[in-house]
Amino acid sequence: MIKQCCVCGKVYDKGMWKHPEGSQYRNVSHTYCPDCLLRAILQARDERPVPVPRPVLTLN
E strands within 1-60? 2-5, 11-13, 16-18, 28-31
Q: What is the mean pLDDT of residues 2-17?
A: 94
pLDDT over 80 at 53, yes or no? yes
| Arithmetic mean of pLDDT over the chain | 89
Q: Each residue of 15-35: pLDDT tens digit?
A: 999 998 876 777 889 999 999
pLDDT over 90 at 3, yes or no? yes
Higher pLDDT among residues 24 and 59, named by residue: 59
